[in-house]
Amino acid sequence: MQATSTRLLTHLHPSDAAVVGLPLALVVLEAVTTFQPPHPSVVTTVLGVIGCLALVWWRTRPVEVLALLAVCSLVPTLGLGHEPDLYGSFIPSMIAIYAVAAYRPTRYLYVIAGFTVLVMGGFAIRAPDFRSAGQVVFNALAIVLATVIGRVLQHLRSQADTATARASLLERENDLQAREAVVAERERIARELHDVIAHDVSLMVIQAGAAQRVMRDHPDQAGEALSLIQDSGRRAVDELYLLLGMLRDDGQDLAPQRGLAAVEELVSAVRQSGVPIELLITGKRRDLGNALEVSAYRLVQEALTNVMKHARGSHTLVELAYDPAQLTLRVADEGDGPATAPAGTTGGHGLLGMRERVRMFGGSFDAGRRPGGGWLITAVLPVAADAS
């Protein structure tokens, strides 16, 4: 028991220490410094100290504390006929009433009402001063005020807890949606790579058949066909390596995938929808491999989708920069970008998917506001040395 009390006092919160210490100090000082009668009796002082010490549990057991204070208040008055003590009875009782209202459900307000009737009725029996209208009104107002403050603070605390729980739930939902968007994008990439690999393997089969037919009569043509088979096989192996580990939703129909050759058509369609758009292609345009071509086209497509959602009507520049070792894609507009999307939309998931595509090829991706206004998306995709 002593160890439990020591541990409780060790972990006492500073505010709890003040709640216990201030009325306790007043009770002790009153007993020590009161020289004029009536002096507080020893019983009154001891019970006042016990009541003040019971406030250690004012947050966790406020009903029990209030019941103990009722006993400590009534015993000196009803049993010994002493005047009720302000410091040993009134102040601790107000703290306990506040605690019941602040930390217990509404039904416990009946406990406060019962305490009020019992203690004030007991005081009125033995202490004539407590039968006066002024004293009754003062005590009643003090009890009502402590109760109202406790209920208001409990309501505010409940609202804060609810807001915190909602924020935590929203954060978890956003994280889940982001993960689902990444998984969905990986499935989409996997389907596209599947189609690309199927195309390359189909070409290999056709070229192998052609080489077999002309091998005896036209060995040069057979050698050319075998060279094409080698190139297609190399691309298929590279693309198959990218496909490994990707999630896929089976049962999707195969369909031809668009590459960078279709960017002009895409830009033209966006221009016809009312977006003033310009396409700039720099460097030597060449075949970069089906997998990279398809993903690069998807990057441009997603970037222009964001423009049409969030910056429709603003001037937009699409730039494809072919370098020997990399392809750089830039889509710049003069609007506000996805940052202005209404709360709860999934505009940011498109950026997640774009970042996932670029990461798959070992490239770099950046999206953000331009210094002069507008939004800029930049993707750098490494190009294999043997890309023609």
Task: Mean pLDDT check: name the lowest of 7-11, 44-48, 103-107, 157-161.
Answer: 7-11
State the pLDDT at residue 48: 80
294 part of a folded domain = yes
Segment (H or E) for 330: strand 326-333
Band of residue 386 on the pLDDT scale cut at 50, 70, 90: low
253 part of a folded domain = no
Domain termination site, one of 108, 131, 154: 131
213 part of a folded domain = no
Region 71-90: mean pLDDT is 74
pLDDT tops 80 at residue 203: no
pLDDT tops 50 at residue 274: yes
State the pLDDT at residue 321: 93
Which DSSP symbol is given to 281? E
Domain membership of residue 278 as a residue range: 260-382
387 part of a folded domain = no
Region 261-287: mean pLDDT is 84
State the pLDDT at residue 200: 63
**Residues 6+ positions from 111 with CB-CB distance below 8 Å:** 63, 66, 100, 104
Domain termination site, one of 81, 107, 131: 131
Q: How far apart are CA 280 and CA 320, in angstroms?
A: 6
Question: Which of these, 289, 370, 279, 356, lies nearest to 321 by C-alpha position?
Answer: 279
pLDDT tops 90 at residue 320: yes
pLDDT tops 90 at residue 276: no
pLDDT digits (tens, 9 = 90+) for 280-299: 999 888 888 777 888 888 88
343 part of a folded domain = yes
Q: Are 327 and 292 in contact (CB under 8 A)?
A: yes
144 part of a folded domain = no
State the pLDDT at residue 330: 93
**Residues 6+ positions from 70 with CB-CB distance below 8 Å:** 93, 115, 118, 119
CATH number of the structural domain spanning residue 265: 3.30.565.10
Question: Which of these, 329, 307, 308, 302, lies nearest to 318 by C-alpha position?
Answer: 329
The single residue listed with the structure tokens 């080698």 is: 230
pLDDT digits (tens, 9 = 90+) for 235-253: 666 666 555 544 444 444 4
Number of domains in the chain: 2
Radius of gyration of the chain (CA): 40
How far is residue 266 from each of residues 271, 298, 301, measured CA to CA in Å? 9, 10, 7
181 part of a folded domain = no
What pTM, to 2 d.p., does this model score? 0.44
19 part of a folded domain = yes
Q: How far apart are CA 147 and CA 115, in angstroms?
A: 12
Domain termination site, one of 131, 151, 184: 131
Region 142-152: mean pLDDT is 90
